[in-house]
């Protein structure tokens, strides 16, 4: 493994131990995904605003959620909430294919500029749509990651998770307590849900894609 960046070393000190996850953080500069005025704060372990009432999650949360997915490198991954595209880029370095859904067209377009034009990630596919519905045409998925809080596990996402798959998502109300949860589906299709840690995410937006 190459020498780790300061951010990757910080994440390791905070309890992230998967070498592949730490390697991915070395490959993806967070400053590419934040507004120009905030680039000096890009490597801080805190969320930053990206417009439209949305945020780029703090690096520890991105790393923690990614680690809990237990990616093998050959996975087909569905991400709900492209946002800035930072989490998408991390997933792309650790997975075979990443399908990412964003309801806000402007955010999806900005993420596409970085992911597809600047970083030229060939395994990333973006879509502007309602994340509640997932991406049924591309299902099933080995892993699903949701970056906005839902009041409960969306049934469509549980349905699109492959047997033996894992989903990580925050569950809770916008102004109330939220819990990051791990959803595991066994080979018989039975689903088990486990609490991971308290979090605070922007709420998942249901309905038609928002006009930018």
Q: Which active-site residues does the annotation give?
A: 57
What is the three-class DSSP state of 166? Answer: strand
How many beta carbons lie within 10 A of that of residue 118, not counting itself?
11
What Å distances lie between residue 101 and 11, 69, 114, 134, 192, CA to CA? 27, 18, 16, 7, 24
Residue 172 makes CB contacts below 8 A (sequence gap 6+) with: 149, 151, 178, 179
DSSP state of 117: I
3-state secondary structure 128-164: ECCHHHCCHHHCCEEEEEECCEECCCCHHHHHHEEEE
Paired tokens of 131: 């994340």
């Amino acid at each position: 493994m190459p020498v780790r960046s300061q951010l990757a070393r910080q994440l390791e000190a905070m309890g992230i131990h998967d070498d592949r996850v730490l390697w991915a953080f070395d490959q993806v500069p967070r400053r590419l995904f934040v507004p120009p005025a905030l680039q000096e704060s890009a490597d801080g372990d805190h969320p930053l605003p990206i417009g439209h009432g949305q945020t780029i999650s703090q690096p520890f949360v991105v790393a923690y959620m990614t680690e809990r997915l237990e990616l093998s490198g050959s996975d087909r991954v569905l991400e709900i909430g492209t946002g800035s595209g930072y989490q998408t880029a991390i997933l792309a370095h650790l997975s075979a294919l990443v399908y990412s859904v964003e309801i806000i067209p402007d955010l999806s377009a900005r993420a596409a500029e970085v992911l597809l034009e600047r970083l030229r990630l060939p395994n990333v596919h973006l879509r502007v749509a309602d994340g509640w519905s997932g991406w049924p045409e591309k299902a099933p998925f080995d892993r699903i990651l949701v970056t906005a809080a839902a009041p409960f596990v969306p049934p469509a996402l549980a349905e699109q998770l492959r047997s033996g798959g894992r989903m990580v998502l925050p569950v809770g109300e916008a102004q109330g307590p939220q819990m990051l949860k791990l959803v595991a589906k066994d080979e018989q299709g039975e689903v088990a849900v486990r609490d991971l840690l308290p979090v605070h995410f922007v709420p998942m937006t249901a309905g038609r894609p928002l006009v930018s």
